[in-house]
Amino acid sequence: MLDAEENNMGETPRTVLKALVEQRHWTYRKFVEDFEAAAQRNGVKNLSVSEAQFRRWTSGKIQGLPTADACRVLQEMFGVDADQLFQTPSLDTSAPTYNLEAEIDMTARDAQNEAGAAASASISDTAVEQLRDDVHRIARRYHVLPPFEVLRAARSLREEIEQHRDRTQVPIQQQELLILAGQACAILSTAAFDLGSFDSATRLARSAALYGETARFDPLRAYAGGTLAYIAYFSGRPGEAAQYARQAAMLPGLGDVARRRLAAIEARAYGHLGDTSSARRALAISTEAGNGSRDDLHDGIGGEFGFNEERLAMSNGSTCLLLGDGQKAEAAAERALQLVSDKAPAARSLPVVGGTAADLATARLMRGDLDGAAHALTHVWDVPSEQRATGLLARARQVRRSLTDPRFRETALAAELGERLEYFTRSAQHQLDNSPVSALEI
C-alpha cells in the first residue's frame, strides 16, 4: 500500500537517489542491471539489489548507509557521494513528477516476491502430522520402554522437530512445533529423572515449561511444573517442591487429571515436610471426582502425560507411608496392584507394579509382617534391570532400611531379602548413582 505522502502526484522524491532514478526513467529491472554491471567493473562479485531493498533505498526508509561495496558502486553509477544520495533533495530539484504507475507496479512485484518467499518457507502438513504421532507414541509407550531407550528416541525426535521449525514461517505450524518440542523435552526430563540425572532433568523440565509459555500452552507448563516438584523433593527440597506444585495448579486450562496429578505431588511434598494437615488436604483433593474438564495433554495424549488411577493410588500410598499411616498405605498399594492386574499384560507398567509392591512391603513391615512383605516383593523381582527407574529404586532402598528394624535383624528371611534388594538396586542398567538423599527417608 502507498504511504499517504506518496499518494500525491508531483511530490518531491524522498531521496536524491529516487530523483536521479526518475530522471533516467529507470525501472527496478534497469537499475539492477546497471548496478550489477558497475559492481563487476569495481571488482565486486555477486553483488546485487533485491526489489524490496531498492524500494527502501529510494523511499528513504534505510537507516544509515548501505555496505561499503554498495556505496562505491552507487557513486560510480551516479557520480554523487553515497551520503548525498540518501539525503532529501532540495525543493528546486528538476526531477520529474512522481511516477504513480511505476510505484504501484513495484509494490505489486514486491508483494508477489515476498508472498512467494513465505510460501516456500513452510513444510508439509504431513511432516508435522508425523512428528505429532511420533511424540504421542513415545508418551503412550513410555511405561513399557526402558528410560534409556526413551531418552535416545526423544532426543532424536526433539532435534528433528527443531529442524522443521527452522524451515517454516507459517504461524500455525510454528505453534504446533513449539508444543511438540516442549512435549519432547518433557519426556526427556522424565527419562533423565528415571535414570538418576536430576540436574539434567531439571534443565529439561524448565525447557519444556519455556516452550509451553512461548506457545501459550498451559497444560505443558503445568506438567513441567509437576516434574520440577518431584525432582525437588527427591533432591531433598520438599518446600520448593510444594511451591512448584501449587503454582502449576493455578494455571488455567487444566483438566481434572492434571489437577489430580499436581495435588498428589503436592501431598508427597508435604509428607516429606512432615506437614500432616496440608498433606491430608492435598490427598483429599487428589481423589475428588472433579468437574469432567479435560485438556489436550494430560487427557488428549495421556500415557506418560496422564495420571491413571493406579499411579494415583501408588503416589498416595507413598504419601501415607511418609505420614506413618501404614494401614492406609497398605490399602492404597493393594488397590494400585489390583488396578494394574485388571489390565491386559501389554498395558501394565512394570515400574508401577514394582514401586507399588515395594511400598506394600514397607507398609507390611511397619506392622511386623515379614512374610507378607516377602510376598509383596515377588512383584519387585519381576522388573527387568533396564526398567528399574529412580522412583522404584528409592522405594526398594526404603524396604531395605525397614528390614534393619530390630524385629527382623536376626531372621534369615530378612537377611535374604536385604541381600536381594541390594543386588536389585546395584544391578540397575544405565542408572546414575544419584539416589534420594537421607532427608527423604521415612
Q: CA-to-CA distance for 421 and 350, rounded, in angstroms?
A: 17
Residues 403 and 344 reside in one and the same domain: yes
Residues 232 and 381 reside in one and the same domain: no
Q: CA-to-CA distance for 27 and 234, rounded, in angstroms?
A: 70
Number of domains in the chain: 3
Last residue of a domain, one of 94, 120, 146: 120
Residues 270 and 191 reside in one and the same domain: yes
Residues 224 and 246 reside in one and the same domain: yes
Instruction: Give the model's pLDDT for residue 12.
Output: 58
Range of the domain at 207: 123-307
For 155-167, how does the pLDDT look when each residue is reduced to its tens digit (9 = 90+)?
999 999 999 998 8
Instruction: Give the model's pLDDT for residue 56.
Output: 85
Q: CA-to-CA distance for 115 and 173, rounded, in angstroms?
A: 17
Instruction: Give the model's pLDDT for residue 104.
Output: 65
Instruction: Give the model's pLDDT for residue 97.
Output: 46
List the grid coordinates of 178.
513449539
Instruction: Give the model's pLDDT for residue 105.
Output: 62
- Whether 313 is in a domain gets the answer no
Residues 180 and 292 reside in one and the same domain: yes
Residue 82: pLDDT band with limits 50, 70, 90: confident
Instruction: Give the model's pLDDT for residue 10.
Output: 45
Last residue of a domain, one of 120, 150, 173: 120
Cα–chain-centroid distance for residue 430?
24
List the grid coordinates of 330.
497398605
Residues 138 and 67 reside in one and the same domain: no
Considering only residues 4 and 419, tell me which one the structure prediction assigns the higher pLDDT. 419
Instruction: Give the model's pLDDT for residue 23.
Output: 82
For 296-341, how does the pLDDT look when each residue is reduced to its tens digit (9 = 90+)?
999 999 999 999 999 999 999 999 999 999 999 999 999 999 999 9
For 170-187, how does the pLDDT look when each residue is reduced to its tens digit (9 = 90+)?
899 999 999 999 999 999
> pTM value?
0.73
Instruction: Give the model's pLDDT for residue 54.
Output: 87
- Whether 413 is in a domain gets the answer yes
Whether 9 has a pLDDT exceeding 80, the answer reads no
- Which range is most confident: 78-82, 93-97, 208-212? 208-212
Q: CA-to-CA distance for 231 and 237, rounded, in angstroms?
A: 9
Whether 278 has a pLDDT exceeding 50, the answer reads yes
For 106-140, how does the pLDDT look when each residue is reduced to its tens digit (9 = 90+)?
666 666 666 655 555 678 999 999 999 999 999 99
- Which range is most confident: 14-23, 76-85, 355-364? 355-364
Residues 436 and 415 reside in one and the same domain: yes
Residue 169: pLDDT band with limits 50, 70, 90: confident
DSSP 303: G
Residue 98: pLDDT band with limits 50, 70, 90: very low
